[in-house]
Structure 1
Amino acid sequence: MIALSLAEIAEILDGELHLVGADTADTLVDGSVDTDSREMTAGSVFVAKPGETTDGHRFVGAAVDAGAVLAIVEHPVDVEVTQIVVADAVAALADLAREVVARVRAAGHLKVVGITGSNGKTTTKNFLARILEDEGETVAPVRSYNNEVGAPLTMLRLTESTRYLVSEFGAAGPGSIAHLAGLVTPDVSVVLMVGLAHAGGFGGIEATARAKSELVTAARADGAAVLNSDDPRVWAMREIAERRGMSVVGFGQSPDAAVRAEDVEVTATGTSCTIVVAGERAPLRLKVLGAHHVTNALAAIAAAGVLGVPAASAIARLETVEIAERWRMQPLGSDRVRIINDAYNASPDSMAAALRTLAQISGPQERTVAVLGAMSELGETAGEEHDRVGLLAVRLNIARIVVVGPEARRLYLAAVGEGSWDSEAVHLPDQDAAFDYLKTELREGDRVLVKSSNSVGLRHLGDRLGEFFS
């Protein structure tokens, strides 16, 4: 965090400052900010956030022992550390992030990119950060820090010399993206796609589209909207951007795309295509598996172009990326049995993309195995969407469909109903049962996809399989 005095922080948060020891109102704080006491280092700020299962106020002492010099709390805690008492710790976190971003922006060189979409946010964020880090100091979220806590924590990592902030915005419900993007007012707004991920919390796909469009509305009027021209709901957001006086850059494989991909080819070692920008063509060879990641690469190239990075430079940097992120199309195992651990999250769109990738990268002598768990937060569409995934797996000729957990049973029944029988599809109660089954069922030459929503936790099963077959 940039250096601020205790008095300044208290004023920003409209909080009550309780000084301890040698601290004065003028004492400067410039350490990291976090809600996890285990992440504290010397000079850190601990935000005591109440939670559903525990209360951050219980860990103020542990945070101080680990190096925290300031605690932001909702009530005084009997710990020897300076504290600022606020009405709402999460709201205070947002207020502090807003002020830090504003001060760094006032220095005149900070550019902010906001990224949203039903799928692909984290991969696109990582791609863009890789491109921009060679241009100047770049701050981007770790993992998927894209909610009301994670997004401000990322913003608070800015320093006086930060040139680019890449923010990832998830949508907890209507208005959440508007709130988070309002903390930074992005110079560039990137919208990837509108899908059924989390549709149950929004009331349908049209409501999801409206939520994603909040990023365009929250951007600077003199900024740019980078939009997926292949997704009609995203491409329609150009009307919002144009009404606000923003420039619009389309990406995709449609003729409307200013940054376009042609001749996409997926293999077991990566994904290749031809990138077309302003009539110029250049090859891109991603080490990341899956045709769907071409869309994420296009978005990153387009956003970087708005910021002045030539396409050739962006392409060269993308080709150095080894994996999108841990648990996202992550290759594990060995030549004997290859595991693709893509179980950080799942939606109908990402399930379909991952299954198609599995089919595309497997040779005629290689058996395909899909280990699938439930997709969460789909609301009333959950049953139908699990049916669709089961049908697709069969139609793609996936040789073995291993369904894990009671919540995914309908996926299994759909696969059986479509014609997957004679042990081609099995349903197992939990991860341990699945591991015991797979460690004897898998054989040399198998190509295995592990995919589920984060809450199901199959990413850990993927790690176990990767280690067993390494």
Structure 2
Amino acid sequence: MRMLASEAARAAGGRLVGPDVEVSGISIDSRTVAPGELFVPVVAERDGHDFIDDALAAGAAAYLTSEAPQGATAVVVDDNAAALAELGRHARSRFEGPVVGITGSVGKTSVKDMAAAAIGADRPTHASPMSFNNELGVPLTLANCPEDAEAVVVEMGARGKGHIAWLCSLARPTVGVVTSVGAAHTELFGTVEAVAEAKGELVESLDPSGVAVLNADQPLVTAMADRTEADVLTFGRAGGEVRATDVRLDDGLRPRFRLETPSGQTAVALAVCGEHMVDNALAAAAASLAVGVGVDEIAAGLGSAQLSPWRMEVTTLASGAVLINDAYNANPMSMAAALRSLAAVDRPRRVAVLGEMAELGDRTAAEHAAIGALAQELGIEVIPVATAEFGPSPVADDAAAVTALGPVDAETAVLVKASRVAGLETVAEALSKS
């Protein structure tokens, strides 16, 4: 979203030093800053102020700083992170179209990608890149909305009570989607019920003119209908106003189904893999209906939707083996879904290379053991990496996991999955090059 540096200074509660130039967006990474953008240094493990010169050399038109200006055009503020949030809030105030907010224990990034594609089949749509769903990612998404966008899709994550409510104060969603509630981040929240309490802050933020899109197959989610004055539209496999019938998978694990909605029915053929993606597609379809997209456009958008990296990427290797790279993140719900997808692959040998599921607190041992038991029930061999919680003896690292796999041939299917901290995408990368 374009604005003058002076407008950015007013919005951020700062002061302008230097020429009043136009900025065409915001970046917090000096390595990827585009010409004309405003560079916002993040102060974390490394101090982004150290990279202001690099950002200017890459073409940044101006920079924000809580330190003394270093020349060129600067917006001087007291707190960089707070200023970034205010820039996102200001950008939202300039946007007049619908804003779809998405949260949930699993599926929020995939639903975001699918909703952006489905709504995008009807009108220009802007969405959060990758998993930009926190106090940095949400204001960046809002501030980088293109001038021609007519809808925005924003992913929202929660790491504590009040977090989503705060993100909603910036994004002011008109449609709120809750995908699911499960044992994710229970180390931080304590109980699944506390997770539901936090996720429900999204629907509480909606105006009466808005729409809450809720998963009819999950009681903790459907109960959120009592927490909003907005209209409610439900989705689900077992129930819901937006539902799927005649679900089947093709040989590449891509779902096909009949989409049934209050506005009509149509056939949908997804380009993404895994039967659990049907639930994500239903959530995206319901969000699209809520902003006025027709069922035919929804089907077309869902059929072309591509997911963010390392999410159910199914490829056939040169050896003929099937590789499922779902290494971006993991919790008990998503891990179980990925294992069931692996079990659906027509290969005699099915192996899951699994890393830890992080932030489960007191539930860690029980949840990992349950996943180990599910894998055994499904006839899946497990190679745990750096954790003994799944049951089998673990290997030490990624390289050892590749060695432990042994020959990966046309009779083999491999799933790679773990929480983000494990970084198991390196295993998938190594296999893809073998």
Pairing 1:404–2:385 present: yes
1:16 and 2:15 equivalent?
yes
* Distance change in 2, residues 1:375/1:433 (3 Å): same
Q: Name the counterpart of 2:2.
A: 2
What does residue range 17-56 of structure 1 map to in structure 2 within 5 Å? 17-19=16-18, 23=19, 27-51=20-44, 53-56=45-48
Residue of structure 2 aligned with 1:385, choices 352, 367, 371: 367
Matches within 5 A, 1:311-460: 311-321=295-305, 323-334=306-317, 336-363=320-347, 366-398=348-380, 400-405=381-386, 408-413=387-392, 427-438=394-405, 440-460=406-426
Q: CA deviation at 1:160?
A: 3.3
Residue 456 of structure 1: CA displacement? 0.1
Q: How far has the Cα of 1:303 moved from its partner?
A: 0.9
More deviation, 129-138/336-345: 129-138
Q: Deviations over 1:351-398 (max 9, x none)?
A: 0000011112325xx311111110111111111111111111001111
Counterpart among 421, 430, 433 of residue 464 in structure 1: 430
Alpha-carbon distance in structure 2 between the residues aligned to 1:59 and 1:442:
44
State the secondary structure of the residue aligned to 1:319: helix
Which whole-Å CA distance do the structure 1 matches of 2:388 and 2:297 have between them? 47
Structure 2 residue aligned with 1:263: 246
In the alignment, does 2:64 pair up with 1:72? yes
Quick one: distance in 2 between partners of 1:253 and 1:444? 33
Letter matched to residue 60 of structure 1: I
State which structure, 1 or 2, has the greater radius of gyration over its C-alpha atoms. Answer: 1
Q: Deviations over 1:7-65 (max 9, x none)?
A: 3222211113222xxx1xxx2423220111112122110111101x2100110110111
8 Å contact from structure 1 (residues 6, 28) kept in 2: yes
- TM-score, with structure 1 as normaliser: 0.89
Structure 1 SS opposite 2:310: coil
1:410-438 deviation digits (Å, cap 9, x = unpaired): 1134xxxxxxxxxxxx5210001112232
Indicate which of 101, 105, 116 corresponds to 1:114: 101
In the TM superposition, residue 444 of structure 1 has moved relative to its aligned partner by 2.4
> How far is the alpha carbon of 1:279 from its aligned partner?
8.2
The code of the aligned residue for 2:108 comes to K
CA drift of 1:265 comes to 2.2
Gaps of 5+ in 2: none
Deviation at 1:264, TM superposition (A): 2.3
**How far apart are 1:238 and its partner, in Å?**
0.8
The two structures, once aligned, show a CA RMSD in angstroms of 1.6
Q: What is the aligned length?
A: 432
Q: Which sections of structure 1, spanning at least 5 residues, go unmatched?
A: 414-425
**SS of equivalent to 1:37:** coil
Tell me, yes or no, if the aligned pair for 1:98 and 1:183 is still in contact at 8 Å.
yes
Aligned partner of residue 172 in structure 1, secondary structure: coil
Identity %: 38
* Structure 1 counterpart SS, 2:394: strand
2:265 aligned with 1:294, yes or no?
Answer: no
Whole-angstrom distance in 2 between the partners of 1:279 and 1:148: 36
Partner residue in 1 for 2:53: 61
